Amino acid sequence: MSGPLQFTARPTNMFERHIREYYERSREACPQIEAIYGKWRFEDLIPGMSDFDTRFVVSDDTTPEDWVNISREVGRVHADICREHPDRVRILEHLPGINLTWQETRDGTFYYPEFHQWTGYFGFDHRIVNFGEYLAGLPWNRTDELFCVKKFALYFTPYDREIDPPINLGDFESKYPLHSRFMHYFCPPVQCAVSIMKQRMVRGKAESLRLARDLFPNGRIVDKIFDVLDRHYETPDLYVEPRLTELETELFDYLKTVFEIIRPEITVINAAPGDTSKELRNKLGALSSGAFGKFYEGAKFCRLMMGRLLFYAEDIPHFDSTWLIGHELRRIRKLFFETTFSAFARLAWEDDLSPEDALERCRGEFLSDADYRDVKAYADIFGEKYEPAEIKQFAVRVADAMAPFQMVLEKLGVFARTIAREGNGD
């Protein structure tokens, strides 16, 4: 960085007001929505810097058609709030991610360790309490460990300065270099390491850092992070070279020390001394998460993706969505079509098929001709060419193709769950 750093002071914490308004307006538009959750603890939401990773839980009678409507209507609510409150653009980076019915929260085939990292805010209080008690009663298991080891391995690298661009931060952009390093790329692997040591899923990022201070050496790194957070990142010396590079080295060295401590506790793979991120990921890649697990891995973020794309396609002067659209377009064909249909072939026929061949085989046995055409239209649209300046228009076309595809995926999911429960191909 060149020249003196300019910092904007910590803003008022508006997260509680925003979460309540977002829930109430979304529920008014979609009465099926019965609770709003968010990842992490409330103390982890840093005003001006953090977005809010919303998760909705909806009524058990929600239909595939309802999910399409919820996606569209929540996208509209999201855009309306973004227009009305320019100071919330960072909070409103994306629509809710994983969204479930209450029945699915208690269905073991849908279990996802991230559930333990959700905080319930508003909604049907007894349901929120019951879900929390249910999760608290679950013992630590292989799925939890695998989740944590995979996530640790993903982040077990030196910081990549190209991977996390500052978007929609406004006056707080100058503080993002430290927020990105600490909260986005250091806290997640520490949280996973602490969870492995404690044999339980730890919910919060700050909570994880406090536990890490007692579990691992070099607690001064943790103290430094808390000091920086207390100052809302207003620590000018940490942004300049060579201090910034030295900080990145200190953070990665800490993770290397942590890895050697947690390594004997890892049972899902044979983690060897000195293993790198790549070596860990190669070992993890050889594991099977089960065909339904793979299917759900692809499908679980689909339900509100259409609305997310429609929101990004809106022309909101103070919201920049170009990079965000590109990010989604690069991954959602693979995630929602390729991953799910190849996994379904393993589940239904114990056969390794390409997604295209799996779709052909589903035709007639599980899907109608109309279903087949809807899936193919979604899969094929990503092959269309468009000019960079037309990315918003293309996002709308993808969203239009996603609506019928999404309903087919819900239909296929019912078959997948039935087969998984019967124990075939998983």
Encode the chain (426 residues) as per-residue pLDDT tens digits: 456 789 999 999 999 999 999 999 999 999 999 999 999 999 999 999 999 999 999 999 999 999 999 999 999 999 999 999 999 999 999 999 999 999 999 999 899 999 999 999 999 999 999 999 999 999 999 999 999 999 999 999 999 999 999 999 999 999 999 999 999 999 999 999 999 999 999 999 999 999 999 999 999 999 999 999 999 999 999 999 999 999 999 999 999 999 999 999 999 999 999 999 999 999 999 887 789 989 998 899 999 999 999 999 999 999 999 999 999 999 999 999 999 999 999 999 999 999 999 999 999 999 999 999 999 999 999 999 999 999 999 999 999 999 999 999 999 999 999 999 887 444
For 336, which DSSP code?
Answer: I
- Res 426: pLDDT: 44
Per-residue pLDDT at 3: 61
Distance (Å, rounded) from C-alpha 111 to C-alpha 206? 25
As beta bridge partners, residue 122 has: 36
Question: For residue 421, what pLDDT is reported?
Answer: 86
- Res 423: pLDDT: 74
Instruction: Tell me the C-alpha distance between 178 and 175, whole Å.
Output: 6
Q: What is the C-alpha separation between 317 and 285, in angstroms, rounded?
A: 43
Q: What is the domain partition of the chain in residue ranges?
A: 1-138, 142-285, 289-426
Within 8 A by CB and 6+ apart from 82, the residues are 88, 89, 92, 311, 314, 316, 319
What is residue 1's predicted lDDT score, i.e. its pLDDT?
Answer: 45
152 DSSP 8-state letter: H
CB burial string 223-245: b at 16+ within 10 A, e below: ebbeebbeebbbbeebbeeeebe
Q: What is the dihedral of CA 222, 155, 183, 212, to 10 degrees?
A: -30
162 Cβ neighbours under 8 A, 6+ residues apart: none
Burial class of residue 162, CB neighbours in 10 A (0-12, 13-18, 19+): exposed
- Across 292-323, b (16+ Cβ under 10 Å) vs e yields bbbbbbbbbbbbbbbbbbbbbbbebeebebee
Rg of the chain in Å (alpha carbons): 22
Whole-model pTM: value is: 0.95
Burial class of residue 277, CB neighbours in 10 A (0-12, 13-18, 19+):
middle
